[in-house]
Amino acid sequence: MAPRKPSATPALGMYPRVRMRRNRIDTWTRRLVAENTLTASDLIWPVFVREGKGVREPVASMPGVDRLSIDLLGEAIGEAKTLGIPVIALFPAIDQAQKTEDGDEATRPGNLVCRAIAEIKRTVPDIGVMVDVALDPFTTHGHDGLLRDGYVVNDETVEVLCRQVLVQARAGCDIISPSDMMDGRVGAIRTALDEAGFQHVRIMSYAAKYNSGFYGPFRDALGSKGTLGGKDKGSYQMDPANSDEALREVALDLEEGADMVMVKPGMPYLDIVRRVKDGFGVPTFAYQVSGEYSMLKGAIERGWLAERVVLEAMMAFKRAGADGVLSYFAVEVAKRLKSG
């Protein structure tokens, strides 16, 4: 008979002296010994904005999520602020007529994003505003950068992203969030911001953004899904098979000046969140993307899952090491936390 291998985690006593259920008997006990907590301060709420006035347009593939015209942002974001949500992430649904091959609208002062930032800062000045940096909402082909002979070129795209960043910073944003996955973009953006006097503007990089199938409803919301023509973004977004590569991406972004890093998608990549947090000990965020939201929301609406799975999913991010979560459930979760 082979000798018994020692346990990796030694037992601290044995039954019946030790009864693990003792600390589970009462609600107050469970709260007392909870290893992780979730608060509204852990949440970032992604918000879709569109042109128009008085427009609240539902996103069909994301039940409960709307595209809002700029004049409705103040009320919606004011509620989020009241609930204790510290940051909103702004995403534009650009009219098709404003999209071009080179996405030039992204760099125009006074575009939809810049006007939305200004309105939020006017109506809810003490909430953080995070903006996405990539060209996909603005291009006719739906890619995150400039397309040359069917390939997204890197360095030329980074030059355009730097111009995009500066109009967003001048409009008043607090956090720049490059989601394009071009090489070297974080360093170039940090330099552009610093040279223009925006040293206070933070960068939360999409450091490990995977070429995922979970983004479909988001692309519906932006109106960019059909523009890809059946092609994906595998030449610049990460292969879902890789995790060591994610650590290299994070290390590079931090060296280039990122203040915070993000893993996207969320729940299918909790192992990446854990490795990033353990490996670098920096502010680490996860994006519970549109596909994750729609799966849970759809199952809840059909009675297949109980609503409690939303909080359970949020706690999974915290348990994996995330300091915060971008989630379309943010307002709903904040309300539940407030009500106890």
Point out the residues that are catalytic: 209, 264
Give CA–CA dist 324/340, Å, rounded: 20
- 1, with CB counted inside 10 A (0-12, 13-18, 19+), is exposed
Q: How does DSSP assign 281-328, residue by residue?
A: -S-EEEEE-HHHHHHHHHHHHTTSS-THHHHHHHHHHHHHT-SEEEET
Do residues 172 and 129 touch, judged by C-beta distance below 8 A?
Answer: yes
Q: Helix crossing, 185-195 with 244-256: angle to 10°?
A: 20
Do residues 189 and 178 touch, judged by C-beta distance below 8 A?
Answer: yes
Using DSSP's 3-state secondary structure scheme, residue 128 falls into strand
Do residues 290 and 284 touch, judged by C-beta distance below 8 A?
Answer: no
Q: What radius of gyration, in Å, describes the C-alpha atoms of the chain?
A: 21
